[in-house]
Structures are given as C-alpha cells and as structure tokens.
Structure 1
Amino acid sequence: IAALRIALQERIPRAFIDLETARFSDAGAVLPDAYALKKTSLERFAAAVLPTLERPDDQQAVDRIRTMAVRLRQLEQDYESILLVCSITDWPWIREACLDSTTTAAEDEAVEDVQIYTVDPTTLVFFLGELPWITGLYERARFELDDDGNLSVDGIKDLALTTRDRYRAALGARARKITPKLLSVWFQYVRNLSLIERRLTPDLYTLVVAAQQILGDQYAVHLTETAREYPDFGRLPFETLRMGVEQARLPDGEVCDMMSRLPGHPVSWRSCSLKPTPPPRQQEEWRMRWNPYRQCSWPEEDVTIEKFRTHVKDVALSMLGNDLARVEKFTTSFRDGLDIRETLRNWHTGDLYVCEYPPTRGSLDCVVMLFDSPADPRDYPYRITWQAEHHDESTLALFATDYRQEMVGPGIGLSNYGGAMFLFPPRPVPDIWQDPRFDFADTLEERLVAAACLHSREKHVAILSHSPPGAVWRRLARRFGRKLLHVPLGRFGNQTVAQLRMFHVLNGQQVRSYAAHFIRKA
C-alpha cells in the first residue's frame, strides 16, 4: 500500500502483473517478525530468510511465479528501472524464472467483475494486519508529516495511556490506580509473553491477557475496545461490508469467504474470557424489569467483606490493648518487648524499659466503616438494613450509591459503599433509616454511628475512617455509654479498599444461579 501511495504521489507508472485466479490458494509462511528490519539491514534479513524457503509445489503458485516473471520481462522492454513489490516467499523463484528465457506465462482465469467496498470500522480488527489503533496512528502521522519510525512501539504506549484515561473516566472512584510502576510491570509481562510466542511485537491477544492478569478485567475490556478503534478520516462513496474471521457480510446480507493475497505471518484466533459493559439500552430493559420487593446480596462478596470486618475488629482490639500497656524498667524479662520511646527518653541513665500488654478485656460486636466522609446524601440514595441470612453473616446497615444506575446483568445492579455498620453475632434490629430514635442525626455518618452505639452490647465500637472521630461523634457515643476505637483507613491499600467498596445487589436469590456470568471486577 505504501508503494502504491508513493507511486501515485510521484506519478510513477504502475503495473499489476500477478495471475488472475478465480480462487486464490493461500501459501502462508512462518517468517521473522518484521520489526527486526528496524535494527537489521534488508540484506541480512533476506540472507537469514531465503535459505529456509522451500520451492513451491502448488500448481497455482508455480503458474503465478511464471506469469509474473514473463510480464516483468515484457516491462523491461519499456522501462529502465523497475521496482517489484512481492512476497519474500515468491521473490527467489520469480528471479529464477526471470533469468530463464524459456519461461512461459499461464492463462488468466475468468473472474467476476471487481467491486469496491469500505469496511465497517468496528470490524477492522479482522481486516488489517495490525491493530486498527496502530494503523490509525500511522495514518495520522502520514497526514501530519510526523515521524513514524518507532510507532510500532510508541503506539502500544499510546494505546495503554489512552486506555488508562478512558478506564478512569468510566469507573471513576472505583477504578484501580494504574501507576507508572504498574504499567511498567504490564509492559514487561507483554514483552515476555511476546518472546514466548517468538514475536518481537505483541498481538492483541497478548496485550489483553497481560492486562487482564496485571491490571484487571475492566482495564482489559477498555483496552480491547480502544485497540479496535480507527480514526474517522472521512467516509468514502462506497457500500460498507462487515468483516469477520476469514469471512465478510456484504451489504445485501450475503456472507462470503475472504482471503488475503499477502497473508504474512500465520494468524491464530484465540478466545479470551471478558465481560464487557452492557449497552445502555439493555441496562434500561433490565432496570424496567426489576422487582422492588426482592433483594439479596452476592455470597462471594459477603464472605470478602466479613473477612475484612473481622480483620478491622482484630486491629481495633490490638489498639485497645496498646492503650493499656504498662511500661517498666528492665530487670529479668523483656516482657512483650523493648519500649523504644521510653528507653530513648531515659537514654542518659543507661536503663532499658520494656512494655507489657495485659490481656484484652471485653470484645467488639460492632464495626462501623465510613469509606466516604463527609458523605453527600445525594450521592448515596440507597439506604437499607439487611438482616443476616445465617449465623456466619453480620446484620448490616449501609448507605450506598444507587445500584439501578449501573445494571450489569438481568436482576444484577452494581453499587458502591459509602458507609456500613456490621453487628456480629447477628441479631434482628429495626431498619435504622426508618427508626425515629435516630432522627436527631444530621448526617448519614451520625445516624450510622448512633445506631452502632445503641445496638452494640459491648463498651467499645470500632470505627474505620480516614479521620479520627470528632467531638460530635464522641459526644454521641457517650450519650449511649460507648467509646469509639478509631482504625485509620489509610492502614489499608487504596486498591483493596476500592475493591471492597463495590458490591452487587441481586433481584432475589434465584439470580445467584447465574450472577457469576455477569459480575465483573474493576
């Protein structure tokens, strides 16, 4: 294509010398990655490839080579200099036939009239020899007269960064943090997978699999959609066909087989399990079918958040023990360890001080998690109290985003915790959002803290939040005879917290039978 474009621009005569065939025989070959030509001279590349080529034994291939050789000799009578653009697998045999003056041409077969179509941009991934996104970058560089010498590599970087921006815009606060370090790990993994497959540049499957394993399913979905995009350079006045795997659907609906006359490196189509975002029209249909009188949770997420609740409770209990630690001068035992602070404070005396943590008295049966504080009530319209389904599950009161705004499957909505209260062991409690005893609370967080202090049977209530409880919350706890144990949210990774905040609301327990096919992680 590049040769034809240059010839058109320079008004150089062009001749098409291949044999007309009614049904072209594919003669693909395994060749080195063309990226090697950026660092290797054409002579060395050819010297490495030519000895491995076998003489063609297919009759059509032999007829094509003979015909091209004869037509080249005919063109030599009119032109002093001729550039032959052909497959490297045909070149040595065309040259051999050209030097043989006895070579005769084969007869062109009768073929149907040529028809020109444009290709639907969404199906270009089945048509182009490289990613549509990379091809688009080459086309843009050609239009803008930019350097395209390293676009095969820089294009992958541009693809990754563009995907990151779209991923962040789509998922917002739920998106993972795609840091430069994480991207460098992804690039290294892509390189390793490419080398395993004996390639110097990655294909779409390699990029997506690496993204799925390093950056998550949702990033991989956005990467796939971005890689398939091709810039709009203006519509051509031809009908449009849709490409598939070695097939195409014509404008009249007929499906026909397709074959590339320059197949290049053999292509193998492999499947990758991804769950794309449903289109808005389908989400609206699922939203209209929702039964407002049936709701339940997704058990796998229940197990995850319960494990996190247990961990937060254990951290709070350990902090409670730290507050009761006793420090004494070292005599015969180190007790529970050296107290560095007290030892440094008395450094001038030369004495060592050790600390002893007494057994923790009491327990915790209530944990409050405030992921977004102060919370805007307009962002969290979904407020509910869920009773436990079994003895290993907490009684849960929460405020969260509206799950109906993000339907991921039939009867499956995605929501994001703003805050939650966990009572364990579970026990039935009135819906805290309808309970008039908490109407004095001015904010969602205050109502959650007040409910925790009222329903807790222990003296202490663990509260997980970014900032320590203020005077209002502590006064609220004293009102119910409780104390708040603050666990900093910063102790846990942002990515872990972001994943924990996501949960799915199911439209009845029967939805659990197929929910796994639609639920996807960020």
Structure 2
Amino acid sequence: MPGAPESPAGELSSLQRGHLRYFPVVPGRLEFAAAVRRELLANRPGVVAVELPAWLQPFYMEALDRLPQFSVVVYPEGGESERGVYVVVEPADPFVEALRTAQEIGAELLFLEPNAIDRPHLPDLYPDSHSLRSILLDQYIEAYRLFPQARNDEINDHAAGMAWRLQGTDSTKPTTVVLSLNLFDAVLDAMEKPQDPPRDRKDLTAELVNPHPDCLAEISQEYPFLQERYEHYRALMGDDARVDRRRVQYELLKEAERNYLAQTGDAIAHWQRRMMARYTRNLAMLENQLVAGLFDLTVAARAVVDDNYAWEVWHAANSYAWQDEHTPLETLNLSAEEVYLHSRRMRLRRRLPRKKQRLMPRGLKERPKEKHPGEWAEQLDGNSICSYPPEDLVIEDYGKFLRERAKTILREERVRVEPFTTSVHDGIDIRETIRNWHEGKIYVRKFERLSGDVGAVVVIFDEDPLDRYTYMTTWLGEHQNESDMAYYATQPFDHLVGPGIGRAEYGGFLMVLPPRRMFDVWNDPDYDFAESKPERLLMAALDYSVERHVVYVAAKPPRSIFRSIAAHLNRQIIYIPIGQLSPTKLKKLRVVHVLDSHERRKVAKDFLW
C-alpha cells in the first residue's frame, strides 16, 4: 500500500535467540495480524508458538476450521462465580492469524500458556497500531520497551510457565514465538534460567459457540466491517496483506451515508463530514490514538447529524458477510458487558416514519391532483412571482434568532475579567475566581458597551461548486417588517406541487431590513468581483446593511479579503459556523415555495405541506 514502510524479513533480527525468533504483537489489532502473516510466510519456521492456553487448543483448532466465521470459546470463570468467560476467535487477531498461517505453511503449533483459568490481567496500554503504516515494526517495539509496564509476582509466574514450555522445544527446529508485547520482556527474563513445570489444573471444561451476526460489533476488538476488508485483502494480496483503516473508515461512513439517504431522504452535507472528521480526531487524541474507533465514530455521527445516522454507522460497521445465524453450534447473542470487564454504553433512538402515522384519517378531503400530466404547468403565466406568507414568517423569525445569536457572540467577545477592587461591575466570575484561587482574589466580569446593531443576515447552505442551484432572484419585502431578500435555489417550476406553485430548495439567501431598497443583486456590476454566489450575497449584505454588523452563516468563513472590504465600509462580519445550528431547523428552513402570482396565495394552503 502507498505510504507504508517495507518490512523485510530481517527486520526483527535483534529478537533472535538461538532457534527462537520472538515476534511481539498487540493483541486484537489488525496491523499486527498482517505483520505476523508476512513474517511467517517470509521465514516459514518449523514451529509456531503462540500465547494461548494449552488446554484450549482443541477448541481453537475447531474454530480455525470455521473461519472466516467468528467463534466464541466459553468456559466457567472458576471458584464460586457462576459467570462465564468468553474468548472471541476473530480473523484479525494476531494469534489467530499465526495459527491460520502456520497451518498453511505446515508448521507445528505450540500453545504456551499454562493450563489455568486465573490469567493475570495486564494493562493494554499500547501506541496506536496504525502508526505501523509510518514506522517500522522494530521501531514500534523498541519505543514501547523504553517505558516498560509494572510487573508483579502473578505476571512473573505466568511468564515463567510460558518460558518452561519454550525451554522444552526442539533446538533443531526454527521456532517463531508470537506473544503479547506487554509480556515480552517478562518472558525474556524468565528464559535466562531453567524453570519448573507450572501447576496445571485438570478440571477445565469449555464449549465452542457461534456468536449471532447482530452482536459482532459489540464483542469483536476490530469492528466486523474492517475485518471483512482484511479477509478480502488477505485472500487477494497473499503475503502482503495490508489494510489502511482510515480508508476503510471512509468507506464505512460512505456506506452509512447511502443507507441514511435511502431510509430518511436526507443527504449528509460536506460541512458535516468536515465536522465529523475534526470531532473524531479530537476524540482519538483524548485516548492517545491516531484513528478513532467505532464507538467514537458513532458518537460523532450522532452529535453532528442525528441518531438515525449514528445507527446506520453502527449497522454498517456490524455487517460481516460470512457470519451465519444457523450453524451446527449453538448461537448466542452476546453483549459487550458479558465479554469485557470495562465497556461503554450508548443509546440510539431512531426516528423513522411509521406506517400508522402516515395513515390518513377517514373522511378528510384528499389533496388536489392533476387531472392529466402537465395540467399545472399549463397554468403558468410567467408575469410575476411572490412568496408564501407562512414561510415568510418562519424565515423572518429565524433571521431575528440569528441576529440575537450574533449579539450574544459580540457581548461575549467584549467581556473583560479583572480582579475585584471597588465594584463588582456585572457580577462575580466564578470560573476565573476558582482558577486563581491560590491568589486569594475575587474576579469580576465587566461587559463593555456594544457599539452598533446587527443588520443583514446571510445564510449559506451549499456553496454550489457544481452549479446545482440555478434559480437566482431578488424580491422585495411587502411591508415594513418583511426583509428584502436575494437567494439562489433549485428551479422551483421544475417541481410543481400545485397550479402555478413551485417547490425549491435554498442554496443560500440574504435578508436585509428596511425593505424596498435592494436592486437585482445577481446582475449588479458592483459585485462582479465575487468568485461565487455566496461571495456575491456577502458583498451585497455589506453594501445594503444599515447596521454595522453583518451575520454570515456558512460551513467555512469568507476569504480574508472580505474582512478588509468590511472594514473599508465600516462594517464587521460575524461568522457563525452552520454546524453550530440545529440541523432539524435548517432542514425545514431550506424548503421554499414560489407562486407565479398573488392569486395563488388563496389556494396555496390546499397544495402545500
């Protein structure tokens, strides 16, 4: 794959100890599964030793025969507890990949862990394995070993049991030892002296079950969509199986987008994609990772879009072509709480239209329909256009809301915090006081006077790089409380919903008070400097606004030159990212109906919804 470093067969030569070649891995991580496969295919050892319990070998061998289907080994926890221990056998696990590849090359298998249920719980604190696309494997291992994790007697005894099995291997057979990176140094130290046989338990029982297809994303360490891609790469690329999890993550989100569009009719905007990218990046940084996991992806999808899209992301991530519900084994629908000690929970509330809600009450008059195709188009006269008053009220109210939002931003920018001396001004700043508690001072807030009011409002839903919104017009307010408005939208009369009534979708609009002052913005030569429709609307807003401040709502701020233009006109642009506003409200606001005459207003209520 482009950008990935080469991994020569001799990369881990420093980990060779006689006939033993150690290969430390991060359990459950796809990149290490691919690295194990490349290592074994390159060196083809006679024996492959893996860090797995010896008494579970028959169950693992049965699970290998079922791959690429997932399997789960279940056994009692031990003692007086009635809980079970669930061990997931998944394709992208390095130990499972070591067993699969060993079978392919005809190597002997050796399970290293002692026959005991009480395995020590080791901290799984590793650098993100995605870094292996940028650095070599030995660099990753050496960087980890510089800061070894704490050991205790339990870990040392467990490592000694594994070392005893390795000391009994045939020195004439090259052996590759696949073990966890957090146990690697403990095993190396234990190999320095002869070890006694570990105490094995004889009363160990287990069972192999088939996990239900719906629960795979909860119980697997790598989500099924990613593991399915790994299986395809593994089959197609042979000994060079590499998967870029960022690319797979992109494919996952695109698949969820298509399903979301089919289910709800709503498309994901480009600004929402950018916001999800920033959000998931920040979530990954909080967990010291390079790439966000499935849980963080789902959280970002819910926060930026809605629960429906989050559910589509989770549902797509859970898809796995090979898992079957009906098998000779017992099928269990497991939860994350049953498999892992620590798990996170998130509740998604899907809101999809229900059949009973769409039923029309009996006795209500149906909406009028065309008597024949094209009837409504025949009634267009093209002499004038006007808006639908109920929609005017909605959009005017939203313009007032945006002006108030802008005022709030301006006030917050003009807040001054200072230590208390003679006056509390506008109140005590609790946050700043606590932050500087060691100084023994009280801090107060002082709101400086806001100069100028908020005038024009520009809202950009889509910058229209593909020239989809070809209907550009300017209309004037009909009374003193209605704004002049310039907008670009889809062609309304290409989608007729009634006689002379067209339905369109805003790409962006400008609102300015007082009314009846605006010329045709789209043909005004003063704005030919603009490189796009949003820029033309912004220039008109700066020109026509009678107040100092102009609100600009869009996915990204305007070019820096517009700050200079605004300053030259004694204006200031207040930018509000559209992602900070309610997507539900914006969705309702984007629909506009254009009537071809004032007479249509009398019958419009019978056709609009």
Taking structure 2 as the reference length, what is the TM-score of the superposition? 0.44
Is residue 164–residue 196 contact of structure 2 (8 Å, CA) maintained in 1?
A: yes
Alignment match, 2:127: 32
Q: How far apart are 1:36 and its partner, in Å?
A: 2.0
Does the alignment pair 1:91 with 2:184?
yes
Alignment match, 2:394: 307
Alignment match, 1:196: 286
Does the alignment pair 1:498 with 2:601?
no
Q: 1:374 to 1:119 in 2, by over 3 A?
A: same
Q: 2:169 aligns to what SS in structure 1?
A: helix
Q: How far apart are 1:500 and its partner, in Å?
A: 3.7
Is residue 138–residue 151 contact of structure 1 (8 Å, CA) maintained in 2?
A: no
Alignment match, 1:210: 300
Q: 1:168 to 1:71 in 2, by over 3 A?
A: same
AA aligned to 1:204 is: L
More divergent stretch after superposition (19-28 vs 118-127): 19-28
Alignment match, 2:141: 46
Q: 1:190 to 1:312 in 2, by over 3 A?
A: closer
Alignment match, 2:164: 70
Is residue 257–residue 267 contact of structure 2 (8 Å, CA) maintained in 1?
A: no
Q: How far apart are 1:100 and its partner, in Å?
A: 0.3
Q: d(CA) in 1 for partners of 2:98 and 2:398? A: 65
Select the residue among 172, 177, 200 that pairs with 1:108: 200
Alignment match, 1:2: 97
Alignment of 1:274-423 (within 5 A): 274-277=348-351, 283=354, 306-308=393-395, 310=397
Q: 2:111 aligns to what SS in structure 1?
A: coil
Q: d(CA) in 1 for partners of 2:213 and 2:149? A: 37
Alignment match, 2:210: 118
Q: d(CA) in 2 for partners of 1:307 and 1:162? A: 35
Q: How far apart are 1:193 and its partner, in Å?
A: 2.4
Does the alignment pair 1:240 with 2:331?
yes
Alignment of 1:415-434 (within 5 A): none
Q: How far apart are 1:208 and its partner, in Å?
A: 2.0
Select the residue among 335, 344, 348 that pairs with 1:270: 344
Q: 1:371 to 1:35 in 2, by over 3 A?
A: closer
Q: Structure 1, residues 226-262: CA drift from partner, whole Å, max 9, x if none?
A: 1222223666532211221241xxxxxxxxxx46xxx
Q: d(CA) in 2 for partners of 1:115 and 1:376? A: 62
Q: d(CA) in 2 for partners of 1:274 and 1:7? A: 42
AA aligned to 2:588 is: Q
Q: How far apart are 1:75 and its partner, in Å?
A: 1.1
AA aligned to 2:258 is: D
Taking structure 1 as the reference length, what is the TM-score of the superposition? 0.51
Q: d(CA) in 2 for partners of 1:28 and 1:245? A: 19
Q: Structure 1, residues 185-221: CA drift from partner, whole Å, max 9, x if none?
A: 4323322321232111211222123223334443222
Is residue 19–residue 64 contact of structure 1 (8 Å, CA) maintained in 2?
A: yes
Is residue 375–residue 444 contact of structure 1 (8 Å, CA) maintained in 2?
A: no
Q: 1:44 to 1:177 in 2, by over 3 A?
A: closer
Does the alignment pair 1:164 with 2:253?
no
C-alpha RMSD over aligned residues: 4.3
Return the index of the structure with the highest Cα Rg: 1
Aligned length: 315
Q: 1:292 to 1:372 in 2, by over 3 A?
A: farther
Q: 1:371 to 1:18 in 2, by over 3 A?
A: same
Q: 1:23 to 1:67 in 2, by over 3 A?
A: closer
Does the alignment pair 1:136 with 2:232?
no
Q: 1:124 to 1:273 in 2, by over 3 A?
A: closer
Is residue 20–residue 111 contact of structure 1 (8 Å, CA) maintained in 2?
A: no
The unaligned stretches of length 5 or more in structure 2 are 1-95, 365-389, 401-475, 483-488, 503-552, 555-577, 592-609
Q: 1:233 to 1:206 in 2, by over 3 A?
A: closer
AA aligned to 1:207 is: L
The share of aligned pairs that are identical, in percent, is 19
Alignment match, 1:15: 110
Q: Structure 1, residues 269-301: CA drift from partner, whole Å, max 9, x if none?
A: 3344532246x9xx457779x98799xxxxxxx
Q: 1:144 to 1:276 in 2, by over 3 A?
A: farther
